[in-house]
Structure 1
Amino acid sequence: MEPQPQLNTHNKEEYPPMHTAEHLLNATMVKTFGCPRSRNAHIERKKSKCDYELPTCPTDEEIRAIENKVNEIISRHLPVTTEFMSQEEAKDIVDLSKLPTDASETLRIVRIGDYDACACIGQHVANTSEVGTFKIISHDYSEGRLRIRFKLAN
């Protein structure tokens, strides 16, 4: 039997549908605006928020397009899978810039179909069909930072 990889401990318990939605929002922001994944996120069951570094504020139309794209990906019923690999193997697949300095050599990579891959030790659903409907409830922009607040509806 293969030994279990040793990962860093995880100090919080996310609501899996919301945490998976955060990954989808991050991937959508990266693909749409070429920005980094959220540098600051607060993920809760009822509502969550993510902050993105952007040079200009997206238009209301662009915000609606982000919401629509996340819901389109959810509706594709993509599998959410995990795999383990070394940091060396992962560096060409995922952004490692947010890893803590004491991150384990072995990383857990969470993949959402062919849409997203991210190093993460949090909890996720098994399929995007379990996420529900993604809704951006507000957004604001100040000094190069876009904050998006969102919730899920079933």
Structure 2
Amino acid sequence: MTTAQTANETAPENIAFYVNMDFSKLANDINNGALAHQFNGKGRKITYITAEQEIDYFYYSSDSAGEHKIDPPFEITDGDTVICTLQPKIGADNNKAKFKWKSILQNRFDLHRVSTESKAQVSYKAVITEGAVEIDKVIINIHFKLNGDKFSIAWDPRVKIKRG
């Protein structure tokens, strides 16, 4: 490898974002039928949140206080590590909610789980695969409990993978 080649390459980054979720509003809207859901046969109500519905239930931020909002799509370079933290939305009545990252489903590129710091924080490494397009489907799946009800929520954070 020449000096010119190494100068043009960028080192992988650690990118962090927070998902600030209003668990109480989400649970209420599922329970009263405002959000469609199915049952998984294990007592859990399963719901998919569309991009248009996201604003009603959660937002992304670059800080744990939730003050610096960020909007998708998220640009991630091949090789970057993404640290995702799920937390209750500040100011919402979420103090009794128990929540955790469950899984991630994807289409053409891979986000390999690097570590699970806690039930609320997970790290993924972006590894682009052959045939991947710039914006691809990545479905995040979380579980949460509130007032005895169990829920499974999924959504597409609109991740954009750039070749390194």
Instruction: Identify whether the pair has TM-score above 0.5, normalized to the shorter chain.
Output: no
> What TM-score results when the alignment is normalised by the length of structure 1?
0.22
> What TM-score results when the alignment is normalised by the length of structure 2?
0.21
Flag the structure with higher strand content. 2
Flag the structure with higher helix content. 1
Tell which structure's C-alpha radius of gyration is larger.
2
